């Protein structure tokens, strides 16, 4: 049985993460998944205010749909896109993970934004886990996993069992929240920590 929530590594350089965020935002605008070709990728009608900026995508694409998760088992080829190639510190973090990296995105939850309760069904805990490093956050951002509130700090790498546990998020702060979301193959070391 997997743990629900665990800090895998702490104290990434927040200033370098902020620098890469600024670089990424200067290359491409965030994608609003609620408005792609007239189709919504929101989890429910109650979800609003989230956007994504793709970094590591199928065939290195940067189009609107490249920020939307797909089934990893479809043997898709994930590559750094032109945005990630300019974000040197994020590249360094991904390389240090020393595993197969799939979809990587910077996710934004606007001030007042809300992601309704859901389970990330495309996550397969044996082959794919979802981790995140908050870049800009604060204590007014509410993250609930399996009925329990967790406060995530900027610069820490978290494993969160989003593939099995219901979770939701609300940004009650006056600032947009940014977090680096990493879908990856769990290493033996990580598997031992989270099991």
Q: What is the pLDDT of residues 158-190, one digit of tens each?
A: 999 998 899 999 999 999 999 999 999 999 999
Distance in angstroms (rounded) separating the CA atoms of residues 141 and 50:
13
Average model confidence (pLDDT) across the chain:
90
Work out the percent of the chain whose per-residue pLDDT is above 70.
91
Average pLDDT rounded to a whole number, residues 132-145? 97
Please check the confidence at residue 42 and state whether its pLDDT lies above 80: no
Q: Are 83 and 63 in contact (CB under 8 A)?
A: no
Distance in angstroms (rounded) separating the CA atoms of residues 139 and 85:
32
Residue 178: both structure tokens together: 């940014």
Model pTM? 0.92
Confidence of residue 65 (pLDDT cuts 50, 70, 90): confident
Work out whether the CA dihedral 99, 100, 106, 107 comes out positive or negative: negative
Distance in angstroms (rounded) separating the CA atoms of residues 160 and 134:
12
Please check the confidence at residue 48 and state whether its pLDDT lies above 50: yes
State how beta strands 148-150 and 141-145 pair.
antiparallel
The pLDDT assigned to 137 comes to: 97
* Residue of 41 and 90 predicted with greater confidence: 90
Please check the confidence at residue 16 and state whether its pLDDT lies above 70: yes
Distance in angstroms (rounded) separating the CA atoms of residues 171 and 138:
9
Residue 95: both structure tokens together: 């390389």
């Amino acid at each position: 049985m997997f743990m629900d929530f665990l800090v895998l590594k702490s104290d990434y350089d927040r200033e370098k993460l902020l620098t890469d965020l600024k670089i990424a935002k200067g290359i491409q605008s965030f994608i609003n998944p609620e408005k792609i070709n007239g189709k919504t990728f929101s989890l429910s009608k109650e979800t609003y205010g989230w956007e994504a900026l793709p970094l590591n995508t199928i065939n290195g694409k940067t189009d609107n749909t490249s920020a939307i998760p797909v089934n990893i088992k479809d043997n898709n080829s994930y590559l750094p896109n032109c945005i990630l190639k300019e974000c040197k510190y994020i590249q360094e973090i991904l390389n240090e993970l020393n595993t197969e990296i799939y979809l990587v995105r910077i996710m934004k939850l606007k001030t007042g934004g809300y992601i309704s309760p859901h389970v990330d069904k495309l996550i397969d805990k044996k082959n794919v886990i979802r981790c995140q490093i908050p870049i800009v956050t604060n204590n007014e951002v509410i993250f609930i996993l399996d009925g329990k509130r967790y406060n995530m700090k900027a610069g820490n790498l978290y494993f969160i069992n989003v593939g099995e546990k219901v979770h939701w998020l609300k940004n009650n702060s006056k600032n947009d929240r940014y977090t680096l979301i990493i879908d990856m193959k769990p290493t033996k070391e990580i598997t031992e920590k989270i099991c």
